[in-house]
Amino acid sequence: MSDVLVVIGSMSDKEYALKAVEMLNSLGVKARVEVASAHRTPEMVKTLVETAEKEGVCVFIAMAGLSALLPSLIAAYTIKPVIGVPIKRSLEGLDSLLSIAQTPQGVPVACVGIDNA
C-alpha cells in the first residue's frame, strides 16, 4: 500500500517520477509510480484512481508535458489532493505549466514549478 501515487503520462517522464518517489520514501512516505495517459488511455486513468483510492492512497502526483491534462483528469475522479508537475517538453515547459495552473475553477489541482519533481 502506498500513501502517494505518482502518475506519469508516458515512460519518458520516468526520471522525474523516480526523483519524487525517492524524496518521499526518504521522508517515510510510501509512494509508487504508474503510467497512464490522459489522452491515449483515459479509462485506464479512471481505473487507476479508483483502485488507488480503495488501496488507501491519500495524494496523487501527476506529471505531464505538453497539454498536461493528466492532473485535471485525475482530479475529475477523486476528491483527494492532486499535485500537478509540469514537465518541460516544448516551449520551455510553459505549455505544461499553464495547462496545470489554469485548471478550471472547482477542479482543485495544485501546481509546482517546471520539472520540480
Quote the pLDDT of residue 52. 97
Q: What amino acid occupies position 53?
A: E
Residue 66: pLDDT over 90: no
What contacts 24+ positions apart, CB below 8 Å, involve 42-46? 42/73, 45/7, 45/70, 45/73, 45/74, 45/77, 46/77
Quote the pLDDT of residue 57. 98
Residue 24: pLDDT over 80: yes
Quote the pLDDT of residue 35. 96
Half-sphere exposure of 89 (CA within 13 A, CB side): 18
Quote the pLDDT of residue 113. 93
| Strand runs labelled E in the chain | 4-8, 31-35, 59-65, 82-87, 110-111
Q: What amino acid occupies position 38?
A: A
Cβ neighbours of residue 38 closer than 8 Å, sequence gap 6 or more: 9, 45, 64, 69, 70, 72, 73
Q: Specify the range with the lowest mean pLDDT, choosing from 29-33, 58-62, 106-110.
A: 106-110
Quote the pLDDT of residue 86. 93
Better pLDDT: 106 or 24: 24
